[in-house]
Chains A and B, each alone.
Chain A
């Protein structure tokens, strides 16, 4: 039986009973706590991973840790630069291959595809996003590695193979976010451009893409984040040699793969160093998120005319 509001008195207008009022406040704060779980999560990750990994920075020294070129825990060498380089190399190659594919697909979906074609391609892109990284790694291991091995006269484990697998994996991220950015441009703009006698391509590169520029850049940055953090698929094809490679087809390792390789048997400072690498990864991914927010904020201030 729902409570009915009490009759308004002459002195104060009380809209609900005190009990209901308290209940509402309680609920609101409960929800606030739930929302703050996300914040708590980030802090906890910082805390626990940070706690475990901090000694690596403290004892090895941040400079030596981050820029040391020797990763050889058995010899007490904890320089992670080869691994940072591996991560960057793998990410850059994947971006170079994946970005044109992804942005091209996004433009295709937004500007060219008929509804029927769109109904096939868009779900395909979303499904690509859902395939687990182990399966991509498996595919890379069994199918791609031998092909690359044949082409490069090597083992096929190395950056090149990782580039292709990782590129496929970041395409859905970049494509869906880019497409959202393109779709959020009002259709009237396209009409205006066509009415002025621009071709489809001219409209795309002179009007639409510049207008969606920020959204597309955001998408690419988030794709970078995905590439940096990817573990399993890269692990299965990259060769796991924590050194600076002589060529792009030679085995290397990344921050993520090295952690997985070493963790089962790491102890003491070795283990701490692995946690230290996790800190680096976490800071990098948060940094990219912050970058995206910064760029978006710049965008809104430009558009409002300031």
Chain B
């Protein structure tokens, strides 16, 4: 569980509320009856075996699944109480409030500076001093400033994998999102960078709502306040949310037998 002086209170507001979500890829029923509340300014981890739909669920929050043809969602997902799938909601605006970090680092083939300045420029910030300030702050928050402050004009692709991922985080932070979605952000990078990313999650969690999908149970245990366990019980079936609770409880005294089996490694 993430270290906090005072734990997130039980009655803390929910940033994202999901009720009865059913999700389809064309004919394939991927997720069924998902109901959960993501607490504001906390770190929530989604764990579960590979391929069970955790990433799919995550991508519902910023409607990235809309970009895949043939997908369909039923049920409701609300952000601060507003239904994000309502008619009239612009997914483009939604994605400005919710940032996403992907499993494979994907910096733009531009300079480090331009990568981080991309978001602010999109929102109309033009003056160089303003941009400089945002770039520096974001890189600092992403634990990358010291390593890049002298090479801001170098191409982002010239960085190492772990640095690229932190660059992507800085890029997201530059638009000051309310929510940060992280889809297995550490699975493709070196352990030192993983440590740095977990550190920055720790620093950000009081300001931003973070949801992280991870394969790595120890990581979930280290960084998150709340954990949700997803499972696809038989191949070809829709995945369900088995259990959702504070991380401490999930890992020490899970209520569902299946959760316990997964935690203890009886299946993976």
Contacts and interface: CB of A to CB of B under 8 A. Distances in A.
Interface stretch (B106-114, B192-200, B236-244): B106-114
Interface string B95-108: 11101101010111
Contacts of A305: 154-155, 157-158
Interface of B: 62, 64, 67, 69, 92-97, 99-100, 102, 104, 106-110, 118-119, 121-122, 154-155, 157-158, 168, 171-172, 175
Interface of A: 114, 185-186, 188-189, 191-199, 202, 206-207, 210-211, 302-305
A193 B102 CA distance: 12
Contacts of A304: 158
Contacts of A199: 92
Nearest 9 Cβ contacts at the A-B interface: A305-B158, A188-B106, A197-B96, A197-B95, A195-B100, A192-B106, A211-B109, A196-B119, A197-B92
A191 B95 contact: no
A189 B106 contact: yes
Contact of A189 (B92, B94, B96, B108): B108
Nearest to A304: B158
Given A196-B118, A197-B96, A197-B175, A303 B109 contact: yes
13 contacts: A114-B69, A188-B104, A189-B106, A191-B64, A192-B106, A192-B171, A195-B99, A198-B122, A210-B109, A210-B110, A211-B108, A303-B157, A305-B154
A198 B91 CA distance: 10
B108 A207 contact: yes
Contacts of B107: 192
B182 to A, nearest CB: 11
A186 B119 CA distance: 20
A194 B172 CA distance: 12
Contact of B122 (A186, A189, A196, A302): A196
Nearest to B97: A197
Given A197-B119, A206-B122, 18 more contacts: A186-B106, A189-B106, A189-B109, A191-B64, A192-B100, A192-B107, A192-B108, A192-B168, A194-B67, A194-B95, A196-B99, A196-B122, A196-B172, A197-B92, A197-B94, A210-B109, A211-B110, A303-B109
A81 to B, nearest CB: 43
Nearest to A196: B119
A198 B121 CA distance: 11
Nearest to A186: B106
Contacts of B69: 114
A196 B171 contact: yes
A44 B110 CA distance: 44
B68 to A, nearest CB: 11
B110 A196 contact: no
B158 A198 contact: no
A194 B154 CA distance: 24
Contacts of B99: 195-196
B157 A197 contact: no
A111 B109 CA distance: 17
